[in-house]
Amino acid sequence: MFAVTATQTDPDDPLKGLTLGEHPEPAVPEGWTTVTVRAAALNHHDLWTLKGVGISQDRLPIVLGCDAAGVDEDGNEVIVHSVIGTPVNGDETLDPARSLLSEKYDGTFAEKVAVPRRNLVPKPAAISFEEAACLPTAWLTAYRMLFDKAGLEPGSTILVQGAGGGVATALIALGRAGGFRVWATSRSQEKRERALALGADRVFETGERLPERVDAVMETVGQATWKHSLSSLRPGGRIVTCGATSGMVAETQLAQVYFLQKSIIGSTMGTREQLARLAVFLEQTGVRPVIDRVLPLTEAAEGFSAMHRGEIFGKVVFTL
């Protein structure tokens, strides 16, 4: 079958290891099944893999891709929950020993992907395969951050750092639909304007002083915005962080945390049940993922290059 794989890693030139071509069909362990992929979405996770982060060399080559929507062996249209692990506490807690597709097991950038049967979520008919493919990583991460970890009621003000990425655009759209006042930052004027069109109430340049402190900050950028995030948060507020695309190590003024009783909450991905609720949320509200471009999987290198250059707004989706 045709697949997009990581055949080597290079932190300075990650695209060097991107390989397109034939790959063996997936093995199907007991309790697993296969999904014929109709659409799959690109994430920064795929670039990190090509850089050698979170992957050991003995697992190469491995099929890239965490997200997919397609058709299961019984002909049902499904969304693939990409977290591989044993459900904990009734599936509301993520397994500490979990992995994502494309870390230990082949991922979704292929004609077929093997997954545990419990990882399949029905795809609502109102959501296209391309839209559904955006949900399992970026949109599910945003959903958990906003409606689970942030601990806010509708009407609260949130700051989304780095408008343009998949998680950030999801946070803006979901926050607007959920009744939050959404502020967003970006270095790019074009991306700030697009964030307004997407539903942000106000936009600011990265690092710009805000007119008032916010109830929560949604952090995906890391080092470049961390100081601004901490200073922009009201006393008792929360920073919810799910990633660090600009750098993993950020200086923190601890007095701002303990004296003003601010909280720093880690969040990543979400449970299968949250993915199912997210799909229903989109079906009921009419909110849809922002898709930067749709490419055939045979042209995946173009999507990877655009993400590597930071020239996307929303999600890159590959179709088969």
Given a contact cutoff of 8 angstroms between Cβ atoms, the answer to whether 219 and 239 are in contact is yes
In angstroms, the Cα distances linking 79 to 105, 116, 118, 129, 130 are 17, 12, 11, 8, 11
Q: pLDDT at position 85, please?
A: 87
Could you report the per-residue pLDDT of 171-213, keeping only the tens digit for each?
999 999 999 999 999 999 999 999 999 999 999 999 999 999 9
CATH architecture of the domain 139-266 equals: 3-Layer(aba) Sandwich (3.40)
If one looks up domain 2-134+289-319 in CATH, what number appears? 3.90.180.10
Q: pLDDT at position 47, please?
A: 96
Q: Where in the chain is the domain with CATH 3.90.180.10?
A: 2-134+289-319
Q: Which residues of the chain have pLDDT under 50?
A: none
Alpha helix locations (H) across the chain? Answer: 44-51, 129-132, 140-144, 166-177, 189-198, 226-232, 254-258, 272-285, 300-309
CA distance 75 to 81: 18
CA distance 68 to 19: 19
Could you report the per-residue pLDDT of 79-125, keeping only the tens digit for each?
999 999 877 665 556 778 789 999 999 999 999 999 999 999 999 99
